[in-house]
Amino acid sequence: MDHQEGAGNAARNKGLLCCPDIAVIQLYKNETYDWRLLAMGSTLAFTANFAIIVALQRFENFHFSLLRNLPMSLTRRAAMHLSILFILCIPEVIFLLRNFPENLKWEHSIFTILFGISICMFFFGLSYVNDLQNKDPMRRVFAAAIVWFVLILFKVPLLFLASVNFITWIILFRKCFYDFEYSQEQMQNRICGIEG
């Protein structure tokens, strides 16, 4: 796959990521729901960024490996990754802010956005766990989304869920960033031009 095709796929995927939020916001026009419906729709939208996050992490490690060798503190690296993930989430954030349901409190928009960005941070930290590179990571993505849905249905505050995701990201990033390596087989496949 060449770079133009990859960029086209990424742009199309980003456009489709807002579909759950579009559908959920249309429901708010005719009925009165609480914040949980929007939180579940946003969970779907932000969880769908997983493929882009994994591609970003692979790009950083395969094509931009010089960055890993620069003398930067782990805190500065984390801040850089946080800013990249925020930029990645800008379309969803703008969509949520422009189309936020009128019957919900404005605090819920901030909590929903923070929770969505924390989902991306959680998955970015998870992408540095070596065991996940060799196994099917989509099972864990699905399991995480189901856990978030259940917790949202039980009215666990989004700020708490965002904090847990953020702390998990910090722990995974600190523990796994310097130890992360692709396996020899994955490196060989990459050199030979085989996507793995």
Tokens 């793995």 belong to residue: 196
Which pLDDT belongs to residue 55?
Answer: 83
Mean pLDDT value of segment 46-58: 86
Closest among 21, 45, 53, 40 to 120, alpha carbons compared: 53
pTM: 0.82
Listed in sequence order, the DSSP H helices in the chain are 3-17, 19-30, 35-47, 50-62, 66-69, 74-88, 90-98, 106-126, 130-134, 137-153, 158-176, 184-192
Cα 77 to Cα 162: distance, rounded to the nearest angstrom? 20
Q: Does the pLDDT of residue 85 top 60, yes or no?
A: yes
What is the residue type of 90? I
Residue spans of the domains in the chain: they are 3-192
Q: Does the pLDDT of residue 192 top 60, yes or no?
A: no
Which pLDDT tens digit goes with each residue over 2-44? 445 555 566 666 667 667 777 777 777 777 788 998 899 899 8
Which tokens sit at 129?
Answer: 């766990």
Which pLDDT belongs to residue 183?
Answer: 52
Which pLDDT tens digit goes with each residue over 121-154? 999 988 888 655 556 788 888 999 999 999 999 9
Residues 6+ apart with CB under 8 A from 27: 33, 37
Task: Report yes or no: 112 and 42 within 8 Å, Cβ to Cβ.
Answer: yes
